[in-house]
Structure 1
Amino acid sequence: MSLRESRRALVLAAILAMALTCVSACADRAPDTAAHGSALAENRRSAEEGTVGMPEFTAAPAQLPSCFHGVRRAGAYRLPGSSGSGRLVTLGAGPRGVVFAPISWGDACEWAAEAKRLVADGYHVVTFDWGTDRRRTISDATRLLRAHGATGVAWVGGCMGGTLMLSMLADRAERPAGVAGISPLASLGGYTAGNGSSYDGELLLLGTADDPLSDEGRLREVARGFPEAEVAVLPGTLHAAEIFAGPHGDAARRSLDGFLGRTFAPAGG
């Protein structure tokens, strides 16, 4: 055996010994040592249920956007060491979490009206400014909600935000309880026909019939990739969050509220 081969064998042996030590330490841990509700207990419960435990992280306070001034239980955060993520804004509290994603050039204020409305109805909301890594921004917003007590999370995104959320369903570790794509873009999908066929959460695709970016034809093109989705087409040309402020805003809110009601309905209810 050459000197290089000998060194490689020693390194592999050391790695194997370290791995066996770690396995033994975990195996020797008493199953009831974690207090109910602790991070360890929560991670064990998540593993048993087939979900992914959320690691602890620290969120540093940031400046609250003016559109949320005066809102109770509103706070803004940035995650240290997470340069890919933008500013995250939290509103409300409770187990039913909703992440709002803006359009490509939007920010945390884009969904302010709907976020405030949902908080008044008892939802726990996070919206955000996009960071350089947009998938990371959505993931960090979801983590922040869960770290603050949300036990279920729905994603709601406008235009590119909704498109990106739909494409992230391919990653089983990231999957929320429901996704609403508001004016999603067929041309930027990142998904193919049948992409959503293995997803068993709630799905809503909502848009307007003559939207220049996401008209009814394009909306139904997106729907082909998500056969279980509810498709709601409203009259007009408004796009993404604008729909909720327009003449058919009440109908848009009824669709969104119905989607959230189904998403957070008690199991077997």
Structure 2
Amino acid sequence: MVKRESKRAVALTAVLVLALAGATACAGRAVDRAPQGGEVAEKRRSAEEGTVGMREFSAAPDRLPSCYRGVTGATAYRLPGSSGRGRMVTVGGGPRGVVFAPISWGDSCEWAAEARRLAAGGYHVVTFDWGPDRRRTVSDATRLLRSRGSTSVAWVGGCMGGTLMLGMLTDRTARPVGVAGISPLASLGGYTSGSGASYDGELLLLGTADDPLADEGRLREVARSFPEAEVAVLPGTLHAAEIFAGPHGDAARRSLDGFLDRTFAPVAG
């Protein structure tokens, strides 16, 4: 009897582990970790580190990743105390800043093609490798752009990166001027119904109809929390940045460019 109960407990534990992994996986990557610190600490830090009126910010030059070598003006930075993690790469310049966040275990090369394209179009772009504190990584990337002349900043994130950015809208006193979630994950959340109600910036939710992780149904589930968001559903199964390299990449770029045009319309020109 004891042996039977033990086997049952082991089987139940295995089922729970598999369910958790399936709910939080992002493009086959490892399970994401929750942001560091309790809710109160996160909100206090968010208030101190808003994206407007930032305190003095500094970062040391670092080696460029191979995907940016030979790109004019591309510069890599390492933040003080980052312990070898959280490298950031900027390209382009000007007042219109764009922060690209990768998927759960992605890096600064994931959005390199779009970063180079937008930089050629007059944007100041930063991509990054995730640091140990993911919310802090997004905040630091935004601060880096602002410290180098960007007066308005939009966020674009794939998979968990987009989900995290959408969740950050509720606990920051100063927000980006627009957020685009590319294949955001309804299963991870980080926001509640109506999270977008108090946010007056531009919102884009883009994905593919049959993405195993963020299909049309899940994308529209996310949209219920952000009723003002534009929802763009493209054919296929591709996920996050892969969409832009696939057969419907041109349509994805048109959606992203339209979002950015609307986002920066007040300061463009």
Letter in 2 for 1:123: Y
Greater relative contact order, per chain length (Cα 8 Å cut-off, separation 6+): 2
1:73-152 matched pairs, under 5 angstroms: 73-82=73-82, 86-152=86-152
Q: In 2 relative to 1, CA 204–188 (structure 1 residues): closer, same or farther, beyond 3 Å?
A: same
- In 2, are the aligned partners of 1:68 and 1:112 still within 8 Å (CA)? yes
Partner residue in 2 for 1:160 = 160
Structure 2 CA distance for partners of 1:150 and 1:208, relative to 1, 3 Å: same
**Structure 2 gaps, min length 5:** 1-49
1:122-178 per-residue CA deviation (whole Å, 9 max, x = no partner) reads 000000000110000000000000000000000000000000000000123351000
Describe the SS at the equivalent of 1:259. Answer: helix
Change (3 A) 1:105 1:59: same
Which structure 2 residues correspond to residues 1-269 of structure 1 after superposition, within 5 A? 52-82=52-82, 86-266=86-266
Contact kept, 8 Å, 2:208 with 2:239, in 1: the verdict is yes
Please, what TM-score do these two structures have when normalized by structure 2? 0.79
Q: Tell me the amino acid that sits aligned with residue 153 of structure 1.
A: V
> In the aligned structure 1, how far is the partner of 2:64 from the partner of 2:203?
31
Are 1:85 and 1:133, in contact at CA under 8 Å, matched by a contact in 2?
A: no
Distance 1:117 1:105 in 2: 23
Identity of aligned residues (%): 84
Residue 78 (structure 1) shift:
1.2
Look at both structures and tell me which one has the larger radius of gyration over its CA atoms. 1
Aligned partner of 1:190: which letter? G
Secondary structure class of the residue paired with 2:250: helix
Deviation track 1:31-70 (CA, whole Å, cap 9, x = no partner) reads xxxxxxxxxxxxxxxxxxx984111122111111010011
The offset of 1:259, in angstroms, is 0.1
* Distance across 1 between alignment mates of 2:115 and 2:209: 25
TM-score by length of 1: 0.79
Q: Distance in 2 between matches of 1:89 and 1:267?
A: 24
1:183, 1:208 within 8 Å by CA — same for their partners in 2? yes
Match of 2:4 in 1: none
How far 1:81 sits from its partner (Å)? 3.0
Tell me how many residue pairs correspond in the alignment.
Answer: 220
- Matched AA of 1:232: A
